[in-house]
Amino acid sequence: MPLTVVELNVLGGSASPAAVDEGTRDVSLVVLTELDTSTAAALDALGWDERFPHRVGRADRAAGVGRRPRRRRMSPRRLGKTLWLL
């Protein structure tokens, strides 16, 4: 199975969680930038907490401010079901 990576800027809550979910149906790894807490909660309600059980980073109330994620070693086995929050 190929590894498919998608990066999406959810614009600090301006993106539609349903559209983000629909656009990432067959994706292995998702990188979300400017993720706010309300969009994160909406995505989890759509099943993202089960689809992507491994996460690096976190949603922020002040999404889009620009902070660096901390580094974390990822085994190849876990890489395919990881949601990166930048």
- The alpha helices in 1-86, defined as continuous H runs, are 17-23, 37-45, 48-51, 76-79
> What confidence tens digit (pLDDT) does each residue in 43-79 have?
999 999 999 888 888 787 765 544 444 445 555 555 5
What's the whole-model pTM score?
0.70
In whole angstroms, give the CA distance from residue 6 to residue 20. 11
The edge-to-edge listing of strands for the beta sheet with 54-56 is 5-9, 29-33, 82-85, 54-56
Q: According to the model, what pLDDT value does residue 62 have?
A: 63
pLDDT at position 57 is 82
Give the whole-angstrom CA distance, residue 34 versus residue 50: 21
Q: Which two tokens stand for residue 50?
A: 């089960």
pLDDT tens digits, 5-19: 888 888 888 899 999
